[in-house]
Structure 1
Amino acid sequence: MRQCRFTRLTLKVSDIGPVLITGCSSGVGHAVARAFRAADFETFATARDLGALEELRAIDCQTLALDVTDEGSRRAAVEAVERQFGAVGILVNNAGYGQYGPIEEISLDDMRRQFETNVFGGVRLSQLVLPAMRRAGKGRIVNVSSVAGRVSVMGGGAYHATKFALEAIADALRPEVKPFGIEVVSVLPGPIATHFEATLLKTIPDADAHSPYAPFKKGLARRMHAFLAPGGFGVMTADHVARVVFKAGTTSRPRTRYSVGFIAKFGPFGRALAPDRLVDAMTRSVISNSAG
């Protein structure tokens, strides 16, 4: 087995074990699966729809149907890996989407669905892989979080709340499992040009002309479209993020967090230094101007 690239401190493929990745139908998850498979890892790519994984199957990824919100599906995926290899070597919790819109108009059912997918799915998968990792004396959980877990802005409260939750859970879990040889690492990208935007725009509650938030929702949609546009300021490709996820999973002494891209690296600093009221006014102005 060849050694993974990056640095001389990178672990060998044979020292790590198989990789289980969620949300591989497109975007970052798809790119992460390609990166691990290219480095000879036994790669289990998952998605709710197996048909979306044909390209990954063609490069010899093993593919599994996995709905991260369904307990039977979660158990079946972990058991499939453990039957062959005894334990998952690296769990990459990537599945997720962005629920956007004014808090007043997001139903509690939609809010719960956001947490079930973005938070509870990854937490439960982590719980399921940990016993075998602990017996093996090694393992790694890589959470694909977001700069949205460090900075919250109007219009994205539901999505940001899930990413803040992921960060809090990771900070608690990391020292809990460290004595067993298990690492927990967070990867926090800035804006990425993927299908995330299309899904995000569909989640904004319908623009009812009688809604007091109608102009806001129109501006929010336009703002997020521009913010995530390929080639825009600080906007990255899925492959860029995948390379960092790969590094987080394979370097022998990982950081606790990897902030990816200019906005993720410097945005939280600017937000911490700026008064809340100033940030509120600036974001209102940007979205109002986007509404036209």
Structure 2
Amino acid sequence: MPAKTTKTALVTGASSGIGEATALKLRELGYTVYGAARRTERLQKLADVGVRPLAMDVTDDASVRAGVEKILSETGRIDALVNNAGYGSYGALEDVPLAEARHQFEVNVFGALRLTQLVLPHMRAQRAGTVVNITSMGGKLHTPLGGWYHGTKFALEALSDCLRLEVKPFGIDVVVIEPGGIATEWGGIAADRLEASSNSGPYAKQATAVAASLRSEANTKRNSPPTVIADAVAKAVTAHRPRTRYATGFGARPLIALRKVLPDRAFDTVISRAVGLPR
């Protein structure tokens, strides 16, 4: 009887939070896991348990190509791609410099899709594979001063839907994971960028309120651990017929459901009050 082939997974943004938890989970499941990040010194915890650290900047085409080639040269296959690298750049739409807005799209959207482009030929040859795109409940709803960030997540949701149709004939699944509030560095980073962009001028009062909400200890305590997202990824890559979407983590399901049923202006009011916007 032939030996069972070990499946290979690539997880981006693996240096902390959701990416780190996902890399650990897939390693527990027996995958050969490559954890990718720009700062490989932050991957030591993963390396200690057998995850292979991989230097990769998803905005650098040469870096992405080299990473995929390294994986294929060492294992000969890629069975799961988890596009997790991303960040939240908040600030009033008017205030955020276009260079920063473009960078947000480069990381959150184009980086994920470029990696997908490079991996798909090998998945097609295998007639199997799963592409997992980590979006957000923010890909289904909106918050004030988060326009550029939400734009990236809405875009990744739409691209995932189109891709799912395109690759279905080749035995490849495309799955979207929509995290709610997760206990990671994300909120603090988003708040810092918000204040850098809009802490003065006409949007200053809104920026103060939203930054306080992002850093709120009450919200932080309610946030779910990154392992809930790792568990959802594990379900997606091991299921014979995975769901197209997994909404999980604090607030994700109820807020997405609320957005579906409320008229736009009613939802605007709910979200504005939730983040403490001045009236």
Q: TM-score by structure 1 length?
A: 0.89
Measured after TM superposition, the shift of residue 192 of structure 1 is 0.4
Q: Does 1:230 align with 2:204?
A: no
Q: 1:122 aligns with which of 93, 103, 112?
A: 112
Cα distance in 1 for residues equivalent to 2:196 and 2:265: 28
The correspondence of residues 161-240 of structure 1 with structure 2, limited to 5 A, is 161-206=151-196, 210-226=200-216, 229-232=219-222, 235-240=223-228
Q: How many residues align?
A: 277
How big is each residue's C-alpha offset from its partner over 1:69-119, in whole Å with a ceiling of 9 and x where there is no partner?
100010011101111222211000000000111111011111101000000
Cα distance in 1 for residues equivalent to 2:26 and 2:219: 27
How has the CA–CA distance of structure 1 residues 14 and 100 changed in structure 2, closer, same or farther, with 3 Å as cutoff? farther
How has the CA–CA distance of structure 1 residues 133 and 63 changed in structure 2, closer, same or farther, with 3 Å as cutoff? same
Cα distance in 1 for residues equivalent to 2:275 and 2:250: 22
The correspondence of residues 87-166 of structure 1 with structure 2, limited to 5 A, is 87-166=77-156
How has the CA–CA distance of structure 1 residues 181 and 207 changed in structure 2, closer, same or farther, with 3 Å as cutoff? closer
How big is each residue's C-alpha offset from its partner over 1:21-45, in whole Å with a ceiling of 9 and x where there is no partner?
0001100000001111112210101
Match of 1:64 in 2: 54
Q: 2:252 aligns with which of 256, 264, 269?
A: 264
Measured after TM superposition, the shift of residue 267 of structure 1 is 1.3
Q: Does 1:54 align with 2:31?
A: no
Runs of 4+ in 1 over 6 A off after TM superposition: none
How big is each residue's C-alpha offset from its partner over 1:201-221, in whole Å with a ceiling of 9 and x where there is no partner?
121143777501111110010
Q: TM-score by structure 2 length?
A: 0.93
Q: Is the 8 A contact 1:148 1:164 kept in 2?
A: yes
Q: Is the 8 A contact 1:207 1:218 kept in 2?
A: no
Cα distance in 2 for residues equivalent to 1:114 and 1:211: 23
Match of 1:273 in 2: 261
Measured after TM superposition, the shift of residue 284 of structure 1 is 3.2
Cα distance in 2 for residues equivalent to 1:121 and 1:211: 33
Cα distance in 2 for residues equivalent to 1:125 and 1:218: 37
Residues 108-117 or 256-265, more deviating: 256-265
* Superposition RMSD in Å: 2.0
| Percent identity over paired residues | 40
Please list every run of 5 or more consecutive structure 2 residues that lacks an aligned counterpart in the other structure. Answer: none
Measured after TM superposition, the shift of residue 14 of structure 1 is 4.6
Q: Does 1:254 align with 2:213?
A: no
Please list every run of 5 or more consecutive structure 1 residues that lacks an aligned counterpart in the other structure. Answer: 1-12
